[in-house]
Structure 1
Amino acid sequence: MKKLSKEQIVQSVPQRGFFGQPKGLFTLFFTEFWERFSYYGMRALLLFYMYTEIADGGLGIDDGTAKSIMAIYGSLVYMSGIIGGWIADRLLGTQRTVFYGGVLIMAGHIVLALPAGTTALFISMFLIVIGTGLLKPNVSNIVGDMYSPQDVRRDSGFSIFYMGINMGGLLAPLIVGTIGQEYNYHLGFGLAAIGMLVGLIVYMATRKKYLGLAGTYVPNPLRAGEKKKVFTRIGLSAVVIVILAAITIPAGILTINRFTYLVSILGILIPTAYFIVMYRSPKTNADEKSRILAYIPLFIAAIMFWAIQEQGSIILAEYADKRTELSLFGFELQSSWFQSLNPLFIVVLAPIFANIWVKMGERQPTTTKKFSFGLLFAGLSFLVMIVPAAMNGTDTLVNPIWLVLSFLLVVIGELCLSPVGLSATTKLAPEAFSAQTMSLWFLSNASAQAINAQIVKLYKPETEIVYFGVIGGVAILLGLLLFMASPRIQRFMKGVR
């Protein structure tokens, strides 16, 4: 296919029609809405399902192991974005890759809805991990495709897109979580599958009319001679992995704990290798190399942020289930409902932040400073959790308002960092690695959760104050350092604000 220019792609997309944004934002907004509904509905139940006793409809897995599995699952979901980025960049383009990802995600939720114990759990995890890796980074990359590099609506558009993601995350725990906890876990997981089906229908019905050429091209296609070599390597690697698993798992060599350690190590090594490959590639020019160097401190800051934010579905979920008074003003609460707080605050605050960035225009803080603000608020979200333990000890139930405050603070940080990070990634990415660089952005989350897989084991009521205090303090310190380094980092961005 003939290489398309950015101008041709932008002109092919209807530029007005969805809150003053390109019409294609409608398609991607609702595709991500339903994908996140399915994913966060499942996540709201999964930890409880794993550590609930078998007699009560769960799997009876040890609490510490269940928390590590949650973190590793989240890490693998985002780590698999490497696969999705590579397939989009070199084989299918982003539009087609998104569709196949959605199909796999739906299949994964269907498997989890079956009462087949741990076997169904791990099969489902595999399908959802691969499917999300195909879909998630590529949807965001299509959003970036619809805007010219100079379009001042870009950050605002990503904020609106981010609101759609979180509207799905808001409704999912309230609907899927309630059904799962009050009636049956598997029925809840089945509702998640239906959500993904609706998302696929919206995507297929509107993409041709609204997305134009965005995501239809393959930026760095494999040459005819490369395909056979690459597919042979992939096939051999898959066979080796299957053989090793078949030998080491029954022999007790590859245990869940050892697997979590392996993924934690990969969470550091993979993004490091990615930066090296992109920087040294002959397809990366001098300005792009400079932007890669500027991206590294942002990536490290994002890891620290996500290490805190993602513990909302692990540590704070367990805190809600075991340490929180589940009643408020006489109204009984489900512990899964607290997973709606993060997306609720984003839905409320995202339009405000989007409007602020548009009104400030060229006067808004630089990307690096926005990242530093995100880290400061993330650190504060953990520091406030010290207060109830310091006041009343760790053997009493805590007022749910403390959890509400913690989620509010981390969301303020998230709106400073996450949609801005998506936008910055599309602007700083080398042209030959556009989709793969978006995958690299999601690797910051994968790395954070890979590290969390080891950290979450340290949380116990008796270590609560030290746990929240140390992690929160490190985030604030890193945020201050990033703020001070902002002018120097900005120079490396070569004109990208």
Structure 2
Amino acid sequence: MSKIDREAIVNSVPQKGFFGHPKGLFTLFFTEFWERFSYYGMRALLLYYMYSEVVNGGLGMDEGTAKSIMAVYGSLVYMSGIIGGWIADRLLGTQRSIFYGGILIMAGHIVLALPAGVTALFISMFLIIIGTGLLKPNVSSIVGDMYHREDNRRDAGFSIFYMGINMGAFIAPFIVGTLGQKYNYHLGFGMAAIGMLIGLIVFVVTKKKNLALAGTQVPNPLKPEEKSRVIKRIVVGLLIIIGLGFITIPTNILTINRFTILISLLGIIIPTAYFIVMYRSEKTTNVEKSRLLAYIPLFVTSVLFWAIYEQGAIILAEYADKRTQLEIFGIQLHSSWFQSLSPLFVITLAPVFAALWIKLGERQPSTTRKFSFGLFFAGLSFIIMIVPAFMYGTEALVHPIWLTLSFLLAVIGELCLSPVGLSATTKLAPQAFSAQTMSLWFLSNAAAQALNAQLVKLYTPETEIFYFGLIGGTAVALSFLLFAIAPKIQKYMIGVK
């Protein structure tokens, strides 16, 4: 396929048709809606499924082990975006990567719906990890492809797209979570598979008309002689990994604890290597190198933000199950329902933030200062959890309002940082590494959850006040530092506001 310039791609997409945005936003909105329904529905159940007793339909794992697995799983899901971005940039293009990713995700949920114990759990995890790596960063990359770089609708478009993600995440715990906790965990996981199937149908039926050329070309294709060499390396790498697994797992050389440490190290090493490779590439211009340098503090801030935010599905999920009153006003709650709070607040507030950025126009805060606001509110979301511990102790059940406030503050931070970060990534990305830079953005979440694999081990009722206070206080202090140096970072974003 001959090279298609960015102008031709943007012009091929109908530019009006979905709330004043490109028509392709409809396709991507609902594809991601159902993919997130499947993922967050599964995640709302997964921790409880792992540590619930076997007689209650669970796997009977130790709670600490289950929390570490949740963090590692989340890290690998986002880490796999590197693979998905590379495949899109060098082999398939983003549209085909999305389709194959959806197939793998659906297969993973089907496996988890089978009553096959720990074996099914890890097979499912593998399929969903690879599938999400193919789908998630590439959907976001196409959103950016549909807008001109100077289009003022861009940040608002990402905010609308982000609202679609959270609509799927909002309804999932009520449907998947209720089926799993009230009736049978495997029934809930089966519903997650159905959600991904619906997303695939939406994508296939509407992509030709709505997306046109967006995502159809391979930006940096492998040469024919390179393909065979790369395939050989992939096969050899997989055989080595499988062989090491057969040797180290039965002999207890590779334990869950050692594996979490390995993933935590990879969470630091991989993004560092990625920045170095892109910066040193001959395909990266001097202007793009300057933008990459500006992207580094944004990336680090994102890691710190997500390290707090993603504990909502681990530490705060356990808090909901063990430390929260689950009956209020005569209504019996399920602990999985608390996972709907974050997306509910995003659905409610995302239009407000989208309208705010448009109204402010040229007067809106810089990208870096938006990031500092995001980290500030994330820190507050943990600091507020100290209050019930001081008031009632760390053993008593507390009112759901405390968890609600914590999730609300984290979401305010999320809306300052996450959709803005998606948009900034598409603007700061080197042209030859467009999809891979989007993968790097999601790698900030992977690094955060790799960090969490170690942090969550430190949380106990005895350490609760210290845990929330130290992490929350550190985030707030660093947010002030980022705000102060924002003008210096902006100078490196040559040509990007």
Measured in 2, the distance between the counterparts of 1:395 and 1:439 equals: 41
Deviations 1:232-287 (A, max 9, x none): 11111111111111111111111111111111100000000000000000000000
Deviation at 1:329, TM superposition (A): 1.9
Measured in 2, the distance between the counterparts of 1:55 and 1:340 equals: 27
- Residue 441 of structure 1 corresponds to 441
Measured in 2, the distance between the counterparts of 1:6 and 1:154 equals: 15
Measured in 2, the distance between the counterparts of 1:352 and 1:281 equals: 40
Deviation at 1:330, TM superposition (A): 2.0
- Aligned ranges for residues 14-25 of structure 1 at < 5 Å? 14-25=14-25
SS in 1 for 2:148: coil
The percent of aligned pairs where both chains have the same amino acid is: 75
Give the residue type in structure 1 aligned to 2:208: K
- Residue 383 of structure 1 corresponds to 383
Measured in 2, the distance between the counterparts of 1:17 and 1:454 equals: 46
State the superposition RMSD in angstroms.
0.5
- Residue 164 of structure 1 corresponds to 164
- Aligned ranges for residues 94-493 of structure 1 at < 5 Å? 94-493=94-493
Measured in 2, the distance between the counterparts of 1:458 and 1:262 equals: 18
- Residue 82 of structure 2 corresponds to 82
* Uncovered stretches (5+) of structure 2, i.e. residues with no partner: none
Measured in 2, the distance between the counterparts of 1:329 and 1:309 equals: 29
Measured in 1, the distance between the counterparts of 2:314 and 2:9 equals: 41
Give the residue type in structure 2 aligned to 1:384: I
SS in 1 for 2:339: helix
Give the residue type in structure 2 aligned to 1:70: M
Measured in 1, the distance between the counterparts of 2:187 and 2:330 equals: 28
Deviation at 1:103, TM superposition (A): 0.1
Q: What is the TM-score normalised by the length of structure 2?
A: 1.00
SS in 2 for 1:397: coil
Measured in 2, the distance between the counterparts of 1:309 and 1:3 equals: 40
SS in 2 for 1:222: coil
Give the residue type in structure 2 aligned to 1:382: F
Structure 1 segments, 4+ long, off by >3 Å, are none
Deviations 1:272-325 (A, max 9, x none): 000000000000000000000000000000000000000000000000000001
Deviations 1:335-373 (A, max 9, x none): 000000000000000001000011111111000000000
Measured in 1, the distance between the counterparts of 2:380 and 2:12 equals: 44
Q: What is the TM-score normalised by the length of structure 1?
A: 1.00
Measured in 2, the distance between the counterparts of 1:410 and 1:373 equals: 11
Deviation at 1:332, TM superposition (A): 1.2
Measured in 2, the distance between the counterparts of 1:329 and 1:475 equals: 35
Measured in 2, the distance between the counterparts of 1:340 and 1:380 equals: 20
Deviations 1:415-454 (A, max 9, x none): 0000000000000000000000000000000000000000
Measured in 1, the distance between the counterparts of 2:189 and 2:462 equals: 34
Deviations 1:134-188 (A, max 9, x none): 0000000000000000000000000000000000000000110001000000000
Measured in 2, the distance between the counterparts of 1:475 and 1:330 equals: 38
SS in 2 for 1:494: coil
Deviation at 1:229, TM superposition (A): 1.1
SS in 1 for 2:325: coil
Give the residue type in structure 1 aligned to 2:355: N
Measured in 2, the distance between the counterparts of 1:300 and 1:478 equals: 11
Deviation at 1:478, TM superposition (A): 1.1
Measured in 1, the distance between the counterparts of 2:270 and 2:435 equals: 16
* Uncovered stretches (5+) of structure 1, i.e. residues with no partner: none
Measured in 2, the distance between the counterparts of 1:212 and 1:153 equals: 19
Measured in 1, the distance between the counterparts of 2:361 and 2:212 equals: 28
Measured in 2, the distance between the counterparts of 1:397 and 1:334 equals: 15
